[in-house]
Structure 1
Amino acid sequence: MSATRLLVLGVVRGFGRTHGYRVRAELLSWGIDDWANVKPGSIYHALRQLAKIGLLEASEIAHWPGRVDYSVTAEGDAEFFRLLVDALERPEHRADMLSAGLALMPALSRERAVAALSTRLAVLEAQRAVLRKESAPVHAEGLPAHLGELWTMRTRYADLGVEWTQDLLARVRSGEYEMAGEHGPTFGTPGSWRALIGPGTAGR
């Protein structure tokens, strides 16, 4: 639910006020069916649940029977940032949570994004150091050679995680991506979707 919650909160926040069809169309335009474990039907369910627990405000449109518009509450805004920072900081999340965090990263200030990615890098480097230490005795114990490939695979993945995070952190630090607060006071605030993400799906 966390990746879905983060994505739905982020899209509603980005538009400022919008309806379920627009949220669904926007997320599908990002190709979430390829990189996130989010089904189109779960988007509507998430909207209703988030409204039920007070993270979204639901408003029925009198002149449009059946349509409900959503906006992010103060509690929803706080939850959005909590989930977003957590997605970038913690490498133990599933890939769909990291993907959601990357998709919405420009909602953070550059300083906050750098801090989150720096935390992630420190965790990954510590995990890699432990893995290398634990793998050394395995190679020396005379086990069948092919079992060593398990440790080789894990250390290669650990190396890749560190290297990718280092590269991303360097790009964010260098100013390669536009981040919240860099185009005046409205950039990255609720309703600044076009500045935050760029052209997306037009409303119905």
Structure 2
Amino acid sequence: MSATRLLVLGAVRGFGRAHGYLVRTELLTWGADEWANVKWGSLYHALRQLAKDGLLRAIDVPDSGGRVDYELTEAGDEEFFRLLRTALVRPELRPDMLTAGLALLPALSRAEAIELLEKRLHALESGRADIIEQTSAWTDPGHVQELFDLWVHNTSSGADWTRGLIERLKAGAHTMAGEDPAGFGMPGTWTPTQV
């Protein structure tokens, strides 16, 4: 799964209609090159590929010197939400999908975001228990136990952080989809460098 794909779909969704430079500039202001492993050359390729896949609609802009704008298709909106939900639920060793999912979290209702994060918490807690069980008898080579200990530590801290985010959302933190018609998570409401 690609964080770039999720972020591009999310940005086009947020703007309603966007060209590559606008998407690139917006994601750059977020620092997505640092936390989501976005490669700027791949962003333009992603836009073209998403259009080829029927997830974006490419619109030639007359008298613009060849600029192409993009709009989300119905299939693109479905793919955006599929990727977003998966990013929030599935613990992975690489953080880029989770960070992309968090950047687009307000596209979900509060109830759905909490439900997805509770599934993530369950997966993290189950994963930690599995690691402990599988590695409890590890003996040779002894230093490899440090790797297992690191996994347990990372899983534990991920569970603690997820539990805290769930509590913050339950307490009303962040404006989520459906709570403000002009809110960040609503399609077509973004303005450049809003974040």
The structural deviation recorded for 1:136 is: 2.6
The structural deviation recorded for 1:30 is: 0.8
For structure 2, the 5+ residue unaligned runs are none
Match of 1:13 in 2: 13
Structure 1 residues 144-195: Cα deviation after superposition (integer angstroms, max 9, x where no partner): 76444333222211211111111111111211111110014x543320225x
Match of 2:194 in 1: 199
TM-score, L = length of structure 2: 0.91
Match of 1:91 in 2: 91
The structural deviation recorded for 1:94 is: 2.5
Match of 2:156 in 1: 159
Q: 1:129 to 1:45 in 2, by over 3 A?
A: same
Q: 1:105 to 1:198 in 2, by over 3 A?
A: farther
Match of 2:47 in 1: 47
Which residues of 2 match residues 36-115 of structure 1 at below 5 A?
Answer: 36-92=36-92, 94-115=94-115
Aligned residue type for 2:186: T
Q: 1:93 to 1:9 in 2, by over 3 A?
A: farther
Number of equivalent positions: 194
How far apart, CA to CA, are the structure 2 residues paired with 1:136 and 1:61? 62
Aligned to 1:59, what secondary structure does the other structure show?
A: strand
| Greater shift in the superposed pair: 35-44 or 143-152 | 143-152
Q: 1:181 to 1:92 in 2, by over 3 A?
A: same
| Greater shift in the superposed pair: 3-12 or 146-155 | 146-155
> Is residue 146 of structure 2 the alignment partner of residue 149 of structure 1?
yes
1:170 aligned to which of 167, 170, 179: 167
RMSD (Å), alpha carbons: 1.9
Aligned to 1:69, what secondary structure does the other structure show?
A: strand
Identity %: 55
Q: 1:198 to 1:108 in 2, by over 3 A?
A: farther
Structure 1 residues 64-110: Cα deviation after superposition (integer angstroms, max 9, x where no partner): 12111111011100100000000000002621111110111111110
Aligned to 2:58, what secondary structure does the other structure show?
A: strand
> Is residue 118 of structure 2 the alignment partner of residue 118 of structure 1?
yes
Aligned residue type for 1:153: L
